[in-house]
Amino acid sequence: MSAKEKKDVLLMGIDLGTTGVKIVLVDCMGRVKTSVTEEYPLLTPKPGWAQQNPSDWWSATVKGIRNILKKQAISGDCIAGIGLTGQMHGAVFLDANHEVLYPAILWC
């Protein structure tokens, strides 16, 4: 890979957290080019309970990716790789058609 090709390599990191999705774009040297955060609600129907709608995660992630590509004026073809991380110990219940039955139950 030439120096020019290395310079043009971009990597995306996506962190699906409890308050929102954070998306960062870095070059091959680890320098941050840009980042965005798209928030979504944390539902607390009862004291000590925490839930979220998985559709909110997806909508925020799609919106964030579109925004970060727009901010850098690039297409998805410019992304060489994607790293994904997220909150842990949440339960998402699906029906036989893989549709979400209830809000996700979170461990907070």
Give 35's strand partners: 24
Runs of H (alpha helix) within 1-108:
3-8, 54-72
The reported pLDDT for the residue numbered 88 is: 83
> Number of structural domains, the chain?
1
The per-residue pLDDT for range 15-28, each reduced to its tens digit, is: 999 999 999 999 99
Instruction: Give the range of the structural domain holding residue 48, as residue numbers without chain letter.
Output: 3-105
Q: Where are the beta strands (DSSP E) in 1-108?
A: 10-16, 20-27, 32-39, 51-52, 79-86, 104-105
Tell me the whole-structure pTM to 2 decimals.
Answer: 0.86
CATH number for the domain including 42?
3.30.420.40
Residue 95 contacts by C-beta under 8 Å, 6 or more apart in sequence? 101
pLDDT tens by residue, the chain, 108 residues: 544 455 678 999 999 999 999 999 999 999 999 999 999 999 999 999 999 999 999 999 999 999 999 999 999 999 999 999 998 888 999 999 999 999 999 986
Q: How many Cα neighbours within 13 Å face the side chain of 2?
A: 3
Q: What pLDDT score does 3 carry?
A: 45
pLDDT at 89: 84
What pLDDT score was predicted for residue 6?
53
